[in-house]
Structure 1
Amino acid sequence: MLSHIPEKAQEEVTGSSSRSYQGSKLFEDFKDLKELDVHSILCLYSLGTFPENTELEKRFVIYWWIGLGLLPRTSWEKAKMHGNTIYSGLKEKGFLESIHNGKQNQVINRCTINPTVHKWLLSPNVSNVIFSFDQSEHSSSPFFGEWFKERVHINLDKKYLNVPINKELRVVHLGSWRYTEVKADNNANETGPKKPMSIDHIEIENPDVLKKLSENTTYLSLRGISGIEEIPESIGKLENLIILDLRSCHNLIKLPQKPRSTLKKKLSHRTRFKKLIGWKLPKENSQESWFNKLMVLDISGCYLLDHMPKWISELCNLEVLKGFLVGNVGKKNESCWLGDLSKLKNLKKLSIRTTTDMSPEVFRDFNSLESLLKLTITWRKHKIADYSLPKNLEKLDIRCYPEENVSKLMNCAELTKLKKLYIRGGNLTDIPSHKNWKVEKLRLRFLKKLDSTDWEAVRGLFPNLNYVEYVGCHHRPNKFPNDGICWIKEKDEPSLSANDSEIPIIHEAF
């Protein structure tokens, strides 16, 4: 797992940890520190890079650890599993503190470093061994010794970037890493981009510097950077790139274009002649390096993109794809369509947004994407044809649905593994449901046209429910507990079923 980290660095971490906390207040308050394994210690140390009291998204933390080589890079699912275990362990022992929602008092996927722990991470008795400090700006920027300093470049607080690029860089995080609070418009359909309440403004002085990244780069984040209109072709040729985060690059209008084979160009003007005389033409180089190892591609919030390039359907290792555009713009032979994603046999998580009327062929072959577990669809105000969804979905997030019901979903009975159902905005009047669904978590937000019903009837539709949330809905179920915000099932509370005689039945949406 730590193949990218020298043994000497690992020895320094484990050795210094025992020397540095002995006799300190931290040792008295956090006796579990000595029980951490080397992976957890390294992951904890790596978060000392960020300022005190910073809110960090869990997703970003996992990305960060993968980029540093602290988690396995063979699979996103494996990396996430290991990362979740370490993340949860650090929270349970008090090194990381969870962020709670004020109204529902629910743990959100964000955390801060315990202030005492953060001070200890920056203390001299630790930093002399583990960290080297960049004092050029009179601020502490800890990295794991010289090895990490040479291979990690993160923009902590710069608004205008003049990036020094060297061939040893593995992690290049130029964009925003802070958690950004967003406020939705909260109209009936919640269309359009969200309104950021606070966000870093970052500009890169010379975008051509991106062309100098070396093949050693594994993690590249340009999140939220202004002024980037296109991604250079050279990014696609980074043989070891695992994560590409382009989220909220609002000026981005063009993703990199995969070059045609040079062999094909050289032979094209002689192809007809060679065929006539019976020569055997050499095969094109189909193994040309192009995002060969990419596991995560995030292009959500890039609203100026008008089509998806064809090469997206060729990313055989892709497991997470966010911000995929579904529309009728672009040439059919050059654009990637939703049905083309059925070729991605490892894709586990997908978010898409639609821009035009949905014809039946748009969703053709989409339900054959059997590996997909999590799907988010953001609809626009347009007509919807009959469609089917991948049958192994465990989480379905529907946003801005334009119709009153989802009767055009043709294979609802096949979604037998669905455990999480989230609906945000739109015109739905009924809660989508089916007797074959096993929904445990239900979130309903800003559904202004949702009809009022009875709380027991809602629970009857979903016998396995353990969490329900109503936010911004004009009509909540009668007798809904906890002031009509959220309900959490008690451990000893019995489950309800629509078959129970005392429970009023409301019709299913299908």
Structure 2
Amino acid sequence: MSIRTNKMKAVPVLLKQLMIARSKFHERETDASFDRKLEKLRLDLNKIKNVFVRVKKNEEELLDILAEVYDHLHKLDRSKLDEDMDDICKRIKYSAHKLVPMDAFDDSSKEEDHKGGQIFHSSQQLQQPHQMSWTPGDFYQLDSFLKSCLSSLLIFPKNAVIRKSNAINLWIGEGLIKDTRDETADELGEDVIDDLLKCYVIVRYSNGKSSRFNKFLILPSIHRQLESHVSKEDVEHPRNSRIDKLKLERKRETVGDWYFDYSIRSIFNVGASYLYFRPQWGKIFPNLEVLQLGRWQDSPSHHIEVGSEEFLKELKNLRQLKYLSLRGISRIFELPSSIVELERLLVLDLKACHNLETLPNDISSMKSLTHLILSQCYLLEGMPKGIEKLTNLKVLKGFIISTPEKTPCRISDLVNLKKLKRLSIHIGREAVIKDMEFESLKEFLALQRLKISWSVSDPKYGNIYVILPPSLTKLHLKCFPGKDFGECFFDYIYLQQPIELNITGGKLESMNVYFDWTFVNILRLKYLKQLKVDINYLKSLFPYAEIFKN
């Protein structure tokens, strides 16, 4: 391949050729001085290997802003131009400064080589707000829609690191965003977060070099503006003012102790660890739309437990409920069958309910569900009937493959879920995997993210043939039981673009070329103590790679 054929692969190709040449030079003679020069060249190339990608992204960002200005000028939109002028100039200046990645040869970003720790990590440190070189934006410059979305996040504590999924699910539950003809609610939520980033009112909290991030913070100055704005609205429009959100902040909280003359639409557990419920508490909140009782924090150290699971029986009275999170709550053993009566429910998050053993027998009546999250419910042994009939599902996490009796719905049945974009599959201890079952994934035309995890170490459970769906962007394998990818074949024939490949834990020893690595642009390997790899070779292949042994 010529270096000029594909500029995105120019440096990886050059690095690969450098390794070949270096090996040939060593065969002829050993020259320490010359080898040091080759090593310096390799290190410099590694530092700039994603420059083309970053430049292209920065060019597009600047062109988007210039196109926006042109549109205002072309339409002679004086009022809009006058209103946005300061922000536009700020965005142009910031984008222009980003155009050339000045940190490409920053020696402070050094590779590490630690025994038993991180072998190779090409990412930068987490971006924190105080590292930003630009001036924070102004909440009052946002349009009314963005103001509403940002204001709803006041439910989170000040300086909280907020997951994008938590924010988007909250907006879905509150009805701020919903599916349109052109975009799903999740896509619209991503657009909102991008707009808030461009207006400099929130800041990404993630790896500096990764194009993706999943957490953000509200800048402190913007948080103060938000609080001031809400207080001012309450003072200036007392008749229109309505407290419709309740925060559970004390360590011990009792739900149902409040009696108000207005309608509560959201209950959010900010910091409570022990939850208790009054009898018939559900009848007090007939208009409740968001019930976030579980943890929103990442760390499982945020312990939450309930006095009794009897409170779940009252959920049937919450007919307006759209978003229910019981994430990480202890002492919930069974989800009552009456929950299927919540026909408006969009998001059901049961992740990490470690005591949960039983789900309703049939959930086919929950037609509105768009997000069903069951991952890390380790005592669950199977799936209920009717999942394949939830045709609005876009996110299905924690789908368990067990025996036909415990999981009557198979992977091939999920093909009916035409809107499904994220799917995680867990292969259980009693799994019965039918022939060609994973081949049906090629029919999942909308699927973008796929995770397969194993709870069994027997290599026979890793002997599956997976045909990757065409729209896939990310594949995550967790606790893969095989020693080599030869035991599990991934057919990439339908892939339309390179993907991100994450492999976490398991018995993998070798990464022999059973997979076409040209279809991987991001590689992350973690907790693979038995893995034997040529690190320099992997460095030459991928513009972004992380390898951890433990």
The interval holding the TM-score normalised by the smaller chain is 0.5 to 0.7
- SS of the residue 1:125 aligns to: helix
Q: Given the alignment, which residue of 287, 292, 295 partners 1:173?
A: 292
Tell me which residue corresponds to 1:193. Answer: none
Task: Note the C-alpha offset of 1:242.
Answer: 0.8
| Aligned mates of 1:468, 1:203 — CA distance in 2 | 42
d(CA) in 1 for partners of 2:261, 2:513: 53
Look up the equivalent residue of 2:533 and give its one-letter code: S
Structure 2 residue aligned with 1:234: 338
- Following TM superposition, by how much is the alpha carbon of 1:433 offset from its aligned partner in structure 2, in angstroms? 5.9
Structure 2 distance, partners of 1:167, 1:360, is 45
What is the percentage of aligned positions where both structures have the same residue? 32
Q: CA deviation at 1:329?
A: 6.4
The correspondence of residues 267-278 of structure 1 with structure 2, limited to 5 A, is: none
> What's the counterpart of residue 171 of structure 2?
65
Tell me whether 1:153 sits opposite 2:267 in the alignment: yes
In structure 2, C-alpha distance between the alignment counterparts of 1:137 and 1:378, rounded to whole Å: 34
1:12-69 CA-to-partner distances (Å, cap 9, x unmatched) read xxxxxxxxxxxxxxxxx75543431222110110111222122211111111111111
Deviation at 1:364, TM superposition (A): 6.2
- Correspondence for 2:475 among 369, 372, 396: 396
Query: Residue 313 of structure 1: CA displacement?
Result: 1.6
Distance, in Å, in 2 between the alignment partners of 1:231 and 1:364 is 32
Assess if the C-alpha contact under 8 Å between 2:412 and 2:440 holds in 1. yes
d(CA) in 2 for partners of 1:73, 1:217: 17
> What residue identity is the alignment partner of 1:242?
L
Q: 1:410 deviation in Å?
A: 4.5
Partner of 1:495: none
1:352 aligns with 2:455: no
CA distance in 1, matches of 2:201, 2:451: 32
Opposite residue 84 of structure 1, the aligned amino acid is E
| Aligned-partner Cα distance in 2 for 1:97–1:244 | 28
Distance, in Å, in 1 between the alignment partners of 2:271 and 2:286 is: 23
Amino acid of the residue matched to residue 125 of structure 1?
K
Amino acid at match of 1:455: N
Match of 1:273 in 2: none
Match status 1:297 vs 2:372: yes
Quote the RMSD (CA, aligned, Å).
3.4
The equivalent of 2:322 in structure 1 is 218
How far the C-alpha of 1:360 sits from its partner, in A, is 4.1
More helix by share: 2
How far is the alpha carbon of 1:107 from its aligned partner? 7.7
How many angstroms does 1:316 deviate by?
1.1
Residue 398 of structure 1 deviates from its aligned partner by 0.8
Q: Secondary structure at the match of 1:443?
A: strand
What SS does the aligned partner of 1:44 have?
helix
Q: Is this contact kept in 2: 1:210–1:232, CA < 8 A?
A: no
Report Cα offsets for 1:93-134 as digits up to 9, x if no partner.
Answer: 3322332469x8998522222222223322332443566388
* AA matched with 1:232: P
Instruction: Verify the 8 A CA contact 1:76 1:295 in the aligned structure 2.
Output: no
Taking structure 1 as reference, are residues 175 and 411 closer, same or farther at Cα in structure 2, changes over 3 Å only? Answer: closer
Q: Do the aligned partners of 2:205 and 2:214 also contact (CA within 8 Å) in 1?
A: yes
Counterpart residue number, 1:115? 220
Q: Distance in 1 between matches of 2:302 and 2:362?
A: 32
Query: Which amino acid in 1 is paired with 2:303?
Result: D
Displacement of 1:368 in angstroms is 3.1
| Mapped partners of 2:468, 2:419: distance in 1 | 13
Tell whether the 8 Å contact from 2:467 to 2:490 is kept in structure 1 after alignment.
yes
Aligned equivalents of 2:410, 2:262: Cα separation in 1: 40
1:340 aligns with 2:413: yes
Match in the other structure for 1:489? none
The more displaced of 71-80 and 229-238 is: 71-80
Partner of 1:43: 149
Unaligned runs of 5+ in 1: 1-28, 140-145, 181-195, 260-288, 474-510
Alpha-carbon offset, residue 299 of structure 1: 0.5
Q: Deviations over 1:358-395 (max 9, x none)?
A: 64435464443333221101123121334223432221
CA deviations on 1:280-310 (whole Å, 9 max, x unpaired) are xxxxxxxxx7111111000111111111112
Alignment of 1:309-328 (within 5 A): 309-328=384-403
**TM-score calculated relative to the size of structure 1:** 0.68
Per the TM alignment, residue 419 of structure 1 is displaced from its structure 2 partner at its CA by 1.5
| 1:323 counterpart SS class | strand
Q: Which whole-Å CA distance do the structure 1 matches of 2:318 and 2:143 have between them?
A: 32
- 8 Å contact 1:416–1:436 — kept in the other structure? no
Instruction: Assess if the C-alpha contact under 8 Å between 1:53 and 1:115 holds in 2.
Output: yes
Deviation at 1:437, TM superposition (A): 4.5
The TM-score normalised by the length of structure 2 is 0.63
Q: Distance in 1 between matches of 2:142 and 2:160?
A: 23
1:443 counterpart = 2:443: no
* Cα displacement (A) at 1:355: 1.8
- Against the structure 1 CA distance between its residues 250 and 136, is the aligned structure 2 distance closer, same or farther, given a 3 Å change threshold? closer
Secondary structure of 2:386's match? helix
3-state DSSP of counterpart to 2:450: strand
- The residue identity in structure 2 corresponding to 1:388 is V
One-letter code of the match for 1:355? Answer: G
Q: Is the 8 A contact 1:425 1:447 kept in 2?
A: yes
1: distance between equivalents of 2:247 and 2:296?
22
Question: Could you tell me which amino acid in structure 2 is paired with residue 92 of structure 1?
Answer: K
- Kept in 2: contact 1:306–1:330 (CA 8 A): no
Rounded Cα–Cα distance in structure 1 between residues aligned with 2:507 and 2:316: 48
Cα distance in 2, alignment partners of residues 148 and 45 from structure 1: 20
CA contact (8 A) 1:360 1:387 kept: no
Taking the aligned partners of 2:312 and 2:525, their CA distance within structure 1 comes to: 44
Aligned length: 389
Query: Does 2:205 correspond to 1:99?
Result: yes
Structure 2 Cα separation of the partners of residues 303 and 137 of structure 1: 27
Cα distance per residue 1:247-289 (max 9 Å; x no partner): 1111111111238xxxxxxxxxxxxxxxxxxxxxxxxxxxxx7
Letter in 1 for 2:295: S
Shift of 1:351: 0.6
Whether 1:427 aligns to 2:507 is yes
Aligned mates of 1:320, 1:225 — CA distance in 2? 21
2: CA distance, partners of 1:405 / 1:345: 33
For residue 423 of structure 1, what is the amino acid of its counterpart? Answer: I
Query: Offset of 1:84 from its aligned partner?
Result: 1.4
- Counterparts of 1:214 and 1:247, CA distance in 2: 21
Question: Offset of 1:137 from its aligned partner?
Answer: 8.9
Greater mean deviation of Cα atoms: 162-171 or 49-58: 162-171
